[in-house]
Chain A
Amino acid sequence: MRSAQRTGPAGPTDSADDRALVRDSALVWLAGGIVGVSFGAVAVGGGLPLWVPVLMSVVVYAGAAQFSAIGVLFAGGGPAAAVTAGLLLNTRTAAFSLAVAEIIGTGRVSRFLGAHLVTDETVAFALAEPDPARRRRAFWVVGLGLYAVWNLGVLAGALAGGALGDTDRYGLDAAFPAVLAALVLPSLRTDATVRRCALLGAGLALAVTPAVPAGVPVLLALAGLFAHRHRVASGAAL
């Protein structure tokens, strides 16, 4: 994303732009692939048949929701709690999809395909670009590449997972929180209001974790939004 923050009207040529975009995307693809491998390995390691994580990754395509859904299942939370936890995590994609609706394109095919590619990564990359044409290109390049790498990674992890045994031995359980840290740190760093809400919410979630079913703590964390003050003086209503 660093190269996406280039400034100055006399920018480099289109092909240099494309190379920079692919180079930066490759890091995100690699990270996505690694998380995909860990998802496949964790799912199979937890006792699911190989095709479950593979199918889930193709049709759901949302890392955090997939992890939390199988996490709730493995913790004995039941199907309803698993779906609820996953969907509540994905409510953010509704907000994201509003933010990138114009970037995705207006054609029927691009809207229906592009919607499936709305993730933290595609949104962050697209919004970091300065003009509409580059935003659209960033969205599609990052999105299509990530979709391919994610699913191949999950398949590889699911295939290897059975042979790997206990995936905790490889520290894969630390990989997902680390990815989350990398995703949220920029917002926490720049936005004091969000930081206050998030810390309050995380504290609440940790406090109730021993007492409530898996998946519920992160929802209760939303109570942290009560610390969210109006920043727009006029026209703001809650």
Chain B
Amino acid sequence: MNATVTVTLALAVGTYAFRLVGPALHGRVTVPPRVQELASAGAVVILVALLATGTLTDSGRFSGWARPAGVLVGAALAWRRAPFAAVVLAAAATTALLRLAGTG
């Protein structure tokens, strides 16, 4: 058993446990609205932090200009309520083209 197998199994068991919370508790416990509110706000906070760090940094350093430029194009499309697929493809294509043109 190497590290990646351990990581995969631990992640699988833990994630499934989280997902089972609702169906298992359904009809038995009421979650306070404030807790539910903070849980969903926390999810967005984590996702936005992941978005920011994943866009601007790579291994603890600045990621270069090509990636943030691509993400910016994708985010602009998302802001204009473009379909997911268009957002993802435009972001990747922009970054790829900038790299092809020699931008980091």
Residue on B nearest A110 in the bound complex, by CB: B23
Chain A residue total in the interface (Cβ 8 A): 103
Q: Does A217 make an interface contact (CB < 8 A)?
A: yes
| CB-defined contacts of B39 to chain A, threshold 8 Å | 91-92, 94-95
Q: Which residues of B contact A148 (CB under 8 A)?
A: none
Report the Cα distance A149→B25, complex, angstroms: 30
A179 contacts B84, CB within 8 Å?
yes
CB pair A198 B23 closer than 8 Å: no
Residues in B with CB closer than 8 Å to A204 are 49
CA A168 – CA B66 in complex, angstroms?
A: 10
User: Do A82 and B7 touch (CB < 8 A)?
Assistant: yes
Q: Which residues 197-212 of A sit at the B interface, judged by CB distance below 8 A?
A: 197-199, 201-206, 209-210
**C-alpha spacing A197/B87, complex, angstroms:** 25
**Complex alpha-carbon distance, A54 and B13, angstroms:** 16
Which residue numbers of B lie inside 8 Å of A, CB to CB? 3-12, 14-16, 18-27, 31-34, 36-61, 63, 66-67, 70-71, 74-75, 78-79, 81, 83-85, 87-97, 99
Chain A residues engaging chain B, CB cutoff 8 angstroms: 2, 27-28, 30-31, 34-35, 38, 48, 52, 55-56, 59-62, 64-66, 68-69, 73, 75, 78-79, 82-83, 86-102, 104, 106, 111-112, 114-116, 118, 168-185, 187-189, 191, 193-194, 197-199, 201-206, 209-210, 214, 217-219, 221-222, 224-225, 228, 230-232, 235-238
